[in-house]
Amino acid sequence: MKYAELRNRLSSGVTVFDGGFGTELYRRNFFVNTSYDNLVLTEPAIVTAIHQSYIDAGAEVLTTNTYSANHIALNRFGLGEKVREINFAAVALARKAAAGKPEVLIAGSIGPVSGENSQGDRLAAITEQAGFLRDGGADFIIFESISNLNDLKEIVEAAKTCAYPWMPSFVLDGEGKLADGSDINAIMAVLDGVDAEAFGINCGCGPETTFEAVKRVAPCVKLPLVVQPGAGVPKNVDNRFMLMTTPEYFTTYALRYVNLGARGIGGCCGISPEHISDLVRSLKPMTKMEHSASLAIEVKETELLEPLPTEEKSSFGKKLVSGKWLKLVELTPPRGFDLTDTVNKAKLCKDAGFDAINLPDGPRASCRISQVITAAEIQERAGIETIIHCCGRDRNLISLQSMILGCMAKNLNNILFITGDPPKLGNYPFSSGVFDVDSIGLVKLQSRLNRGVDVGGQKLGDNIKTAIVSGVGADPNAVDLEREYRRLAEKIEAGAEFIITQPVFAPEALLSFLKRIEHFHVPVIAGVWPFASYRNAEFMKTEVPGVVVPDWIMEQMRNAGSKEAQRAEGIKIARKILSEIHDAVRGVATSAPFGNVRTAIEVCDGF
């Protein structure tokens, strides 16, 4: 039994649980008139294969196929006398799948006891099953899908009798309440003084609803939080019913749970090994990044050169210092290598009065032509300065420094340092995230290069130093604003000279954030993006981390009418937001949705 290891993991790092089991059995043509729990005896190879698929996906906790393996539920199939055999076999099959991986934990699953049975009968059934899972060798017991306080009270009694590591997991609605209306305060009152290992949330109406629940309960829960949403129910999209929970959609919300403090992440009904695999590929680099902000550079201070003032590094830097109100537009480098169209769009933006072109670095972990090459072509052929994005996802420390030196050689003196989107499954299933360093570390690295010394303490040459204006990102909509503020403070301390925010659709959130950071005295450029259509707005709201789109905007976009009318409405909304924040920021960073720079020009016209 790995009792101490379970506690240590949930308190010191993020642990990946598996996904749904019943839905995986259903996918293998076992219909609902079958006792799924008894399949550990009749179809052990299939049960083991499902466990193995979760192991292959990267799960670190396997949940036994025992959700309804109590004598009350099994009696309906004439299997009541096999309770012990089924629970023992289920643990053994999970353990077999985890053979050779001693780090994998086995969670004994116990679901609600249904039917018109007395409280005493239900308690006896739960206690009996918990004892068999314990004796069978599960590392801990997870009581799943708790939907009312009465069930919770019975589970607490069973857990006391079993005297074994355990955790309760609740089905909560978007307000953080159980089906009987009980809120988190009522739940915690029952758990007061109880020695549970964690607090779980599972199943529910999908990742988005679970996210709302997590936001409400996380501040009240002192135990490690484990979140395992179900796939939810289909949504009506243009009169088509679609299940929105793709692996990437699931992962997007899973990372948000982590930002809210979740220490265990997995899935429930409808969440498959494919979902868990996508989660692991994105989550593990993110957990690594939290420990890579510092760069230990041993160098004598006397060997460091004096950096150039911001206003001497670039025209953009001079405008920053002068107090000019700035207009930036983001253009995404093309997937191919013909830059003619991109350069022509940059010329239009220059003629419209924009100060610089923002060039993202592999946005959404996509493969595009180098933003450095794109920037060089734009500056030389369109005559407008660029701000290139540099993220730590794809390059190690050696390559990052080489890129920055290349920027200096081509007079690309403005860089926005970001951590970068983790790689996703999709067109590049074998891609890996490097993440030697995050955005804080990148600014530190640049500050040293601006003083003539690289990350290894080597001088760039006699009296040679870079002259890069360093920018960073900030998210006024962050679910954990304290963490966002703390990290931004570290970026400023490291040497950041300007800030560009995530797209802002709720002016009050930005204004509140600006009030909090005004003592930094660093220019803030607000991200204000126009929506091209209602679908574009829906994608931003549900799929893009760090973007919060208020309901009133969704309603206006939905009611706009034709696609062209929706584009016009998107511009109108962006201009409204821009007018409300204009005097509080040093500029705007807008976008050209789907490459349409005329939309960006209309947004900023007159500002």
Show the 3-state SS of 42-107: HCHHHHHHHHHHHHHHCCCEEECCCCCCCHHHHHCCCCHHHHHHHHHHHHHHHHHHCCCCCCCEEE
Burial of residue 285 (CB within 10 Å: 0-12, 13-18, 19+) is buried
Q: Is 167 left (phi over 0), alpha (psi -120 to 50) or beta?
A: beta
Whether 140 has a pLDDT exceeding 90, the answer reads yes
Whether 282 has a pLDDT exceeding 90, the answer reads no
Mean pLDDT, residues 173-188: 95
Residue 424 phi/psi, 5° resolution?
Answer: -115, 160
Q: How many CB atoms lie within 10 A of CB 162?
A: 22
Work out the pLDDT band at 426, boundaries 50, 70, 90: very low
Helices (H), 450-562: 481-494, 507-517, 534-543, 551-558
pLDDT, residue 466, reads 96
Whether 289 has a pLDDT exceeding 50, the answer reads no
* Angle at which helices 273-289 and 247-259 cross, to 10°: 40
- Rounded to 5°, angle at Cα 333 from 330 and 337: 160
Please give the span between the terminal C-alpha atoms of the chain, in angstroms, as a whole number. Answer: 65
The whole-angstrom separation of Cα 202 and Cα 194 is: 20
The whole-angstrom separation of Cα 131 and Cα 158 is: 9
Whether 287 has a pLDDT exceeding 70, the answer reads no
pLDDT digits (tens, 9 = 90+) for 144-170: 999 999 999 999 999 999 889 999 999
Instruction: Sketch out the chain's domains with CATH numbers.
Output: 14-288 (3.20.20.330), 304-604 (3.20.20.220)
Structural tokens at position 309: 């003032």
Give the range among 130-139, 287-296, 495-504 with minimum mean pLDDT. Answer: 287-296
The answer to whether the beta carbons of residues 524 and 586 sit under 8 Å apart is yes
Mean pLDDT, residues 112-120: 83
For the chain, the residue count is: 607
pLDDT, residue 368, reads 87
Please tell me whether residue 409 adopts helix, strand or coil conformation. helix
Mean pLDDT, residues 121-145: 95
Structural tokens at position 537: 């707005």
pLDDT, residue 433, reads 64
Q: How many CB atoms lie within 10 A of CB 325?
A: 14
Work out the pLDDT band at 431, boundaries 50, 70, 90: low
Helices (H), 290-438: 310-313, 315-322, 340-351, 371-381, 397-409
DSSP lists the bridge partners of residue 328 as 356, 589
When the pLDDT of each residue in the chain is averaged and rounded to a whole number, the result is 89
pLDDT, residue 292, reads 46
Mean pLDDT, residues 473-486: 85
pLDDT, residue 44, reads 97
Give the range among 185-199, 273-287, 455-469 with minimum mean pLDDT. Answer: 273-287
Whether 295 has a pLDDT exceeding 80, the answer reads no
Q: What is the DSSP code (8-state) at residue 224?
A: P
pLDDT, residue 59, reads 95
The whole-angstrom separation of Cα 431 and Cα 428 is: 6
Work out the pLDDT band at 423, boundaries 50, 70, 90: low
The whole-angstrom separation of Cα 469 and Cα 81 is: 73
Work out the pLDDT band at 299, boundaries 50, 70, 90: very low
Distances (CA, A) of 246 to 249, 259, 273: 5, 20, 12
Distances (CA, A) of 479 to 188, 200, 403: 23, 19, 33
The whole-angstrom separation of Cα 365 and Cα 285 is: 13
Cα–chain center distance at 323:
35
